[in-house]
Amino acid sequence: MTRTFHLTTTRIRFSKWTSDDLPLAEQLWGDPEVTRYICASGVFSPEDIAARLAKEIDNDQTYGIQYWPIFELASGELIGCCGLRPYNESVFEIGFHLRPKFWRQGFASEAANAAIDYAFSKLHAEGLFAGHNPNNIGSKHVLGKLGFQYIRDEFYAPTGLYHPSYELKR
């Protein structure tokens, strides 16, 4: 399969998840360091990974957005995913999941900035929503750096916790 890319930053290329990407999805969401803050058990089962991949593909087919797989420009290696999903009528939720070897190198901010620009310039979003597990200090730091403002704690069923939630207005 020849992979196509629709967004590029200084170090990152954004693609789209396809049904051929289960091995990449397993590489990302099969890592308990990646999933420890995004589900109650902290671990995705093989069925959870397949369902998450299917959900991203469905979001692309239905809304034209997803948490896109992102690749390092220099090596071609999977960094993780970053992108958008529907939140309400004029607001999208932004999120990112990175493989541990790419943590603390600015990849989350770089990818999120590209997704923010896409949301505002291409989708004409009124705003963006983001949340994070209360124990995920790294995500809190990135959202602050991106200019998101805290609005409330919101219950997130997959973890069973109230997640600090933020908005970024156009």
Q: Residue 100 pLDDT > 70, yes or no?
A: yes
- pLDDT tens for 23-65 read 999 999 999 999 999 999 999 999 999 999 999 999 999 999 9
Q: What is the CATH number of domain 7-127?
A: 3.40.630.30
- The per-residue pLDDT of the chain, averaged, comes to 96
Burial 63-81, CB ≥16 within 10 A → b, else e: eebbbbbbbbeeeeebbbb
Round to whole Å and give the CA distance between 80 and 98: 4
Round to whole Å and give the CA distance between 139 and 137: 6
User: pLDDT-based confidence at 145, cuts 50/70/90?
Assistant: very high
Assess contact for 16 and 69: CB atoms under 8 A.
yes
pLDDT given at position 106: 97
pLDDT given at position 90: 86
Q: Residue 84 pLDDT > 90, yes or no?
A: yes
Helix-then-strand count for the chain, H and E: 5, 8
pLDDT given at position 153: 97
pLDDT given at position 170: 87
pLDDT given at position 2: 83
Assess contact for 34 and 79: CB atoms under 8 A.
no
pLDDT given at position 1: 65
